[in-house]
Amino acid sequence: MIIKPKVRGFVCVTAHPEGCAAHVQEWIEHVQRHGKIPGGPRKVLVIGASTGYGLATRITAAFGSDAATLGIFYERPSEEGRPATPGWYNTIAFTTAARAAGLYAGNINGDAFSDEIKRQAIETIRRDLGPVDLVVYSLASPRRVHPRTSAVHRSVLKPIGNPYTNKTVDTDKGVVSTVTIEPASPQEIADTIAVMGGEDWEMWMHALADAKLLAPGAQSVAYSYIGPEVTWAVYRNGTIGMAKNDLERAAKNIDSLLKLNGGGRAFISVNKALVTQASSAIPVVPLYISILYKIMKAAGTHEGCIEQIRRLFATQMYAGHTPAFDESGRVRIDDWEMRPEIQEAVRAIWPRVTTENLAAETDIAGYRGEFLKLFGFGLTGVDYEADTEPHRPMM
Ligand code: NAI
């Protein structure tokens, strides 16, 4: 089958197996080029391991410090004549490379919110790994079936209190327009907290603690975003921001749990805004990212997921470092994004961007290129005209 990108709004409904493998290989090579991270993790559970920040974390742990990894993710498998979602191919590529390097790599595809997947993970850790010293929580999901109540919660990306109007870009069509988003209802706020907040992370950590599968001194980290004021109404002060506040609440509880477990810790790392499947669904944010990329590339400080997480490991978590927490106890690996001169430059460009000057004023081309790469398209060295088998077994 010849697989071409089919973009529908903010998703691409196809993915290219060799392209995804080439993308994963680029990330592996980035970590290898920068050398080993002394004192890095040995046995790592990554929840949300197949794309974006979670995949970058898995690759950094494996190739930066020879860690054994168990990855949990929720991807649509391939079928005869139908490609899988990209995380499926990413995981196959990662697992092939890790095992070739002599590293343990285990995979569980299923709903991380469920008791069943937690049970499978615990069984696998007990059987294959023994207690883990790092648990990374990197889920981005639109829905959660609550394991106790069976209620279905759907997350929304909406402001709270008042409607919010701002510029946005249709990244596919290259059209800048004004969008108005109506405020969330109390139920929508509660649902978003149920999906993207910290309850499930706490459930994972308690399940691991009860099973005695947290190594003494084990750490846990979850990822969050703060960003600039221009996005606050829809992000930091919106429904997703409330969920992230709840994640911070959970971090404090989990931190207490881990402190009693041989002096470990749990914390939130605030990461940079990047093109991922999750972020492309948020109104306004893709326009901000397009401007940000232009400015950070010009400043020589642009990073992708893999650069971010390698820096997190090498300068905050391991290699003899301890996290430099901000006033709220968070690690700020978004520090380069939030530098005053970078944000000042974004603020200068924001009001003048139009459909006509989008290509000149922003890095929309870079955004689009990164977006397609998430699905395995546009990688050098991949023959996109060649016939390829979409149906690939998980390893
Ligand atoms: P992503 O969409 O690339 O990855 C999400 C991962 O979660 C995938 O591995 C997916 O398979 C998995 N997943 C989703 N639902 C699942 C379920 N029910 N069961 C098991 N696995 C499931 O997202 P991204 O952007 O890497 O986000 C990860 C975290 O990083 C999120 O907490 C997000 O808020 C945070 N973050 C993202 C930023 C960005 O700009 N992309 C910036 C800062 C933080």
Given a contact cutoff of 8 angstroms between Cβ atoms, the answer to whether 323 and 329 are in contact is no
Check pLDDT > 90 for residue 277: no
Q: Mean pLDDT, the chain, as a whole number?
A: 97
Return the ligand 1 atom nearest residue 222 CA. 32
How would DSSP label each residue in 266-283?
Answer: EEEEEPPP---TTGGGSS
Nearest Cα neighbor of 257 from 223, 194, 210, 312 is: 210
Q: What is the pLDDT of residues 350-361, one digit of tens each?
A: 999 999 999 999
- Residue 295 region by backbone torsions, left for phi larger than 0, else alpha for psi between -120 and 50, else beta: alpha
- Backbone φ and ψ for 160, nearest 5 degrees, come out as -120, 135
Report residue 172's pLDDT band, with 50, 70 and 90 as the boundaries.
confident
- Residue 48 region by backbone torsions, left for phi larger than 0, else alpha for psi between -120 and 50, else beta: left
pLDDT at site 10: 85
Q: What is the pLDDT of residues 117-158, one digit of tens each?
A: 999 999 999 999 999 999 999 999 999 999 999 999 999 999
Strands (E), 138-264: 143-145, 152-154, 164-170, 175-181, 214-224
Q: Which domains does the chain have, with CATH numbers?
A: 7-373 (3.40.50.720)
192 CB near ligand 1 (under 6 Å): no
The half-sphere exposure of 167 on its side-chain side, counting CA atoms within 13 A, is 21
Which residues does residue 325 pair with via DSSP β-bridges, in sequence order? 331
Q: Is 235 a catalytic residue?
A: yes
Ligand 1 pocket, mutate which of 24, 51, 116, 309 (most atoms under 8 A from CB): 51
Which positions ≥6 away from 1 have C-beta within 8 Å? 81, 83, 387, 388, 389, 390
72 CB near ligand 1 (under 6 Å): yes
Check pLDDT > 90 for residue 215: yes
Return the ligand 1 atom nearest residue 273 CA. 40
What average pLDDT does range 29-39 have in this prediction? 98
pLDDT at site 267: 98
140 CB near ligand 1 (under 6 Å): yes
Residue nearest to atom 34 of ligand 1 (CA): 224
> Ligand 1 center to residue 48 CA distance, Å?
6
pLDDT at site 244: 98
73 CB near ligand 1 (under 6 Å): yes
